[in-house]
């Protein structure tokens, strides 16, 4: 009889234990919201219209069209109001911004709710990401084969591409028979940037921050590029021009 009593006690105890565990509250999840960076390329204050928009670089008296503007960003780093840092690194936080494509001008990140005062990211790819290659990813990943942004011969992704055609005739009435092409890649051309910006991330809400890009500054910035003579770099074949373009590209970006 005593055995049965002990058996009963064990069964009841196990049952109580299971019930108690079932009622134990889960750890409180961190409330998160979404930060979307919306890249907004402009020329003379108006939105860039790739391929069909016709523009004039009055400083150089050159008419031009932008055929392609695209670039990677990675390593989002945001500073909270209390100076603590939240950073998102790795391939799943890489953004490929394609200005030709409206839906690809945005990159979104999931962040803990709260008040923030700075936002930063790397233009291009860090060395760890750049040591990978498209075969390491699914074809549709930003770093995969679908995007055509890799140089096999340099074992590097192409971080930034700006391409277009131009009319360099003095009269400005010629055809668009000349081109410009600035392709940046290799580790030295990744560029961390940081901006002071107060913003709030609220639970389950999206906060969109506009990131302005002044396309004319890419030519006429602190390191002016002569559109008649400095027309092409694939980085390694024209390092001085690549460096100028990199500096101007950084300068062209601002967060109001």
Partner 1 sequence: MRRRLNRQFVVFTYAFIALLTFLLAEGCRKDPNMEPCNSLAATPYSLVKPLRFPDMTIPSNNPLTEEGIDLGHYLFYDSTLSFNHTISCGTCHRPEYGFADSGKVFSLNAKSLPTKRNTPALLNSGYQNKFFYDGRQLTLEDAIDDAIVHEMFVDWDASIKYLSASSFYNQKFVAAFGCDSAINKQNIIKSMAQFIRTIISSGKSDIDTKLIAPNNPSLLSAAEYNGYQLFVSARGDCFHCHFTSPLTSDNLFHNSGLEDSDTTFFGFKDLGRGGFTKDSIDNGKFKTPTLRNIAMTGPYMHDGSLQTLKDVIDFYSDSVKWSPTLDPKMIHAGNIRLRLTPTEKADMLAFMNTMSDREISVNPKYTNPFYRH
Residues near partner 1 (CB under 8 A) are 1, 4-5, 7-8, 11, 51-52, 67-68, 133-140, 144-153, 155, 158, 163-165, 175-181, 231-232, 234, 237
By beta-carbon proximity to partner 1, the closer residue of 115 and 226 is 226
By beta-carbon proximity to partner 1, the closer residue of 101 and 115 is 101
Interatomic CA distance for residues 138 and 145, integer angstroms = 8
Kindly tell me the sign of the dihedral angle through the C-alpha atoms of 102, 97, 219, 76: positive
**Which two structure tokens, joined as six digits, stand for 167?**
């009319």
Least Å distance, CB 155 to partner 1, is: 7
Interatomic CA distance for residues 85 and 56, integer angstroms = 42
Least Å distance, CB 152 to partner 1, is: 5
Kindly tell me the sign of the dihedral angle through the C-alpha atoms of 191, 197, 203, 205: negative
Mapping DSSP onto H, E and C, the string for 91-122 reads HHHCEEEECCCHHHCEEEEEEECEEEEEEEEE
Side-chain half-sphere CA neighbours of 64 within 13 A: 27
By beta-carbon proximity to partner 1, the closer residue of 21 and 229 is 229
Least Å distance, CB 250 to partner 1, is: 23
Interatomic CA distance for residues 186 and 199, integer angstroms = 33
Least Å distance, CB 235 to partner 1, is: 11
**Which two structure tokens, joined as six digits, stand for 62?**
């050159």
By beta-carbon proximity to partner 1, the closer residue of 122 and 168 is 168
Least Å distance, CB 204 to partner 1, is: 29
Helices (H), 106-226: 127-130, 215-220
By beta-carbon proximity to partner 1, the closer residue of 113 and 163 is 163
By beta-carbon proximity to partner 1, the closer residue of 123 and 227 is 227
Least Å distance, CB 124 to partner 1, is: 16
Interatomic CA distance for residues 217 and 14, integer angstroms = 72
């Amino acid at each position: 009889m005593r055995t049965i009593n002990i058996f009963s006690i064990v069964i009841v105890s196990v049952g109580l234990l299971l019930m108690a565990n079932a009622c134990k509250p889960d750890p409180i999840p961190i409330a998160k919201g979404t930060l979307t960076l919306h890249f907004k390329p402009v020329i003379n204050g108006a939105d860039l219209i790739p391929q069909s928009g016709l523009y004039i670089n009055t400083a150089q008296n050159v008419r031009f069209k932008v055929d392609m503007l695209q670039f990677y960003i990675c390593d989002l780093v945001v500073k909270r109001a209390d100076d603590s840092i939240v950073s998102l690194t790795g391939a799943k936080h890489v953004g490929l911004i394609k200005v030709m494509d409206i839906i690809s001008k945005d990159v979104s990140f999931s962040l803990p709710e709260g008040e923030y005062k700075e936002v930063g990211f790397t233009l291009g790819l860090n060395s760890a990401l750049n040591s990978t290659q498209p075969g390491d990813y699914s074809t549709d990943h930003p770093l995969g084969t679908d995007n055509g942004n890799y140089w096999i011969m340099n074992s590097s992704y192409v971080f930034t591409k700006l391409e277009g055609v131009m009319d360099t005739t003095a009269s400005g009435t010629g055809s668009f028979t000349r081109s410009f092409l600035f392709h940046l890649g290799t580790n030295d051309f990744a560029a961390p940037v940081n901006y002071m910006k107060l913003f709030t991330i609220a639970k389950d809400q999206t906060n969109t921050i506009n990131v302005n890009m002044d396309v004319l500054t890419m030519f006429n910035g602190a390191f002016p590029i002569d559109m008649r003579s400095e027309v092409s770099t694939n980085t390694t074949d024209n390092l001085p021009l690549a460096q100028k373009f990199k500096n101007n590209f950084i300068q062209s970006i601002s967060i109001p």
